[in-house]
A and B are shown apart, each in its own frame.
Chain A
Amino acid sequence: MSFLTFKHVSKQYVDGKNNQGYAVRNANFSINKGELVVFVGPSGCGKSTFLRMLAGLEEITSGEIILEEQSLNDVDVKMRDIAMVFQDYALYPHMSVEENLSFGLKNQRKPKQTIMQKVDMACSLLDLSDFRKRMPKQLSGGQRQRVALGRAIVKEPKVFLLDEPLSNLDAKLRVQTRKMIADLHNRLKATMIYVTHDQTEAMTLADKIVVMNKGIIQQIDTPERIYLYPSNLFVAGFIGSPPMNLLRVKIKNSQSFKLSEFNVQVPDDYQVLLQPYVGKEVILGIRPEYIQLSELTTGESGIKPNLIEFLGSENLIYFMLEEGELIVKKNLSSKMSPSTNYGLKIKRENMHFFDPISGEHLKRRSSN
């Protein structure tokens, strides 16, 4: 039995008289104890609604949430044994750091000694010992975020919920705090659900990623599998920076297709799958790092890039093909020349094909 299960959970909003919409639609998945699960997706995709439903801050329209074999549907917020870290920290501004940390424990009427021990533990764990008597307004963004984490830690909850906890921090602090959260997860072995729209956070922190779009779960998998085997066009386009190249190509026969002026061989494992698409279009997906470039001499035919972005350790080369824009990533610590003609070689084993109508990956489509 899983630690936490969502069974056919939906959340419907009624906006005005006739407008109805789903924030979350028929979500089914489970989480094991001690896992760090990251919900990722664009703004408004329903990922925060998941946290709020689990915390009891939003009622679910249908379905059931089960934590340790107990249905949470009718359990009050206070009885759920869950801690939440809010995007805006939600620290009590009129209370000191110590009071913020101990507020929940005092409400639980824990003995004073226990409260002090837990606050001491959280302060030393999060390096807050020097700020115990300070008010939130006297702290920096990073320190405030640590207090918010500390407030969750002292409660020793069954599940930690983190709602975009790093989004208000600057880039450097975000990296530091991200590492700290990963470290905390390893040390506490706690079950954590983390919501973000930042795929770097998702990829670096998660044991399991849940990709969402328009209230529907698109894919649940490990970060590696999400990156390497996206289940549909949305996941392919959302995960990865720069994103996967998605090009509309026409299948000549099940062995090859044309990409711009290049003839590309279809990988062996797709030949059967592409049979129904002969003479039709499919979406070819290829990550920018799986395209090899070769510099051509002036006589040879090739294509010229229309933009090169130099990022220090790598170059992003943009080509405009008939099928769409193609981005190639090349690890090189010097800027490449935009006037050179390049030849392209796509790694066949890293090609993906998607149905242009449903957007589904052809391999997944055939397995369903």
Chain B
Amino acid sequence: MYLRKNKNQLSRPARLLNRFMLIILFISMIIPFMNVLAIAFSTSKNSMVPGITLFPKEFSVEGFVLIWKTQNLWLPFLNSLFVTTVGTFFQVLLSALVGYILTKKDLPFRNLILSFVLITMMIPSELTLVSIYSLNRDLGLLNTYSGLIVNGLMSGFGIILMKNYFEAIPQSLFEAAQIDYASEFKIFFKIYLPMSIPGLVTVGFVSFVSKWNSLLIPVTIITDQNKFTLPVVLRSLIFNSTANSGTTFIAPNAIMAGIVISVLPLIIAYIIAQRFLVSGMNLGSIKG
């Protein structure tokens, strides 16, 4: 008995092309990452050999020890962790609140507000740097953790994603909760938020990644070395800056070790968020 071929199945050449493209994509992503890992776990001598290395010739963690000792990475690491965690928490909360309010059909100027939210997604952040600096200066947020947290706290993407998520919840649940004597805040916290966990995790993850990797805002508003975040320190390492280290040369294995350390929290965040991410992203794309 022959099994009938599924109509949606690709033809053999298309499948082969598909796989070929996937392999190219995979290689283009995995090779730089393997190169970083290989150099990070090499000795300082081996790390200076030119060319692409995929596996360390001699396994060593001296780069990690060196970077941790000489650069005192604890402080920027903790700064980044603090700013990113607090910022992510508030961004998720605010995105959900604004998204929820925007689901209300009788909200005055709803479409206008929605347009403003969309506009924020279209303007490149580089264009706003000067005004961000002067605004932060006027508000006294330069060189403060509050400044690092407050800037970029509202995200158009997060708001739109949460709005779409909430709109997918049947209206009858809202009405049932109203009849069950629940206040608007109770409906939001007890019904809508628990039913939107994939959306919240998606917004949280995207926010965590962007805040953890954020370089523009810290570079713009922070000059105090004690408030430097990890990306700022890594940037100065990569450009071999002596501005904050006082040393003249740092071996590539130490720089790459710094990058590996900076990537670890993202991998942990991904492992936690992973099972929610697909459904969260999908919903945003379908409904948006």
Are A104 and B173 closer than 8 Å at their CB atoms? Answer: no
Are A90 and B170 closer than 8 Å at their CB atoms? Answer: yes
Bound Cα distance A155, B177 (Å): 13
For residue B181, CB closer than 8 A to chain A, the reply is yes
For residue A77, CB closer than 8 A to chain B, the reply is yes
User: Which chain B residues numbered 166 to 207 have a C-beta less than 8 Å away from chain A?
Assistant: 170, 172-173, 175-183, 186, 190-191, 194-195
B275 to chain A, nearest CB (A): 16
Name the B residues within 8 Å of A151 (CB-CB).
176, 180
Bound Cα distance A92, B178 (Å): 12
Are A108 and B176 closer than 8 Å at their CB atoms? Answer: no
Name the B residues within 8 Å of A86 (CB-CB).
172, 175-176
Are A82 and B179 closer than 8 Å at their CB atoms? Answer: yes
Are A108 and B181 closer than 8 Å at their CB atoms? Answer: yes
Contact of B172 among A77, A88, A155 (CB under 8 A): A88
Whether A77 touches B195, Cβ cut-off 8 Å, given contacts A86-B172, A90-B172, is no
Interface size on B, residues (CB 8 A): 17
Q: Which residue of A lies closest to B170 (CB)?
A: A88
Are B175 and A103 closer than 8 Å at their CB atoms? Answer: no
Whether A90 touches B194, Cβ cut-off 8 Å, given contacts A103-B182, A151-B180, is no
Are B194 and A94 closer than 8 Å at their CB atoms? Answer: yes
Are A104 and B175 closer than 8 Å at their CB atoms? Answer: no
Are A78 and B172 closer than 8 Å at their CB atoms? Answer: no
Are A57 and B186 closer than 8 Å at their CB atoms? Answer: no
For residue A93, CB closer than 8 A to chain B, the reply is yes
B193 to chain A, nearest CB (A): 10
Q: Which residue of A lies closest to B172 (CB)?
A: A90
Q: Which residue of A lies closest to B197 (CB)?
A: A94
Q: A57-B178, A88-B172, A94-B194 are in contact. List 14 more A-B contacts (CB 8 A).
A: A77-B179, A78-B179, A84-B175, A84-B176, A86-B175, A90-B170, A90-B173, A92-B173, A92-B191, A93-B195, A104-B179, A104-B180, A107-B181, A155-B180
A36 to chain B, nearest CB (A): 20
B184 to chain A, nearest CB (A): 11
Query: Which 10 pairs show the lowest CB-CB distances between chains A and B?
Result: A104-B180, A90-B176, A90-B172, A107-B181, A94-B194, A86-B172, A77-B178, A78-B181, A107-B182, A108-B181
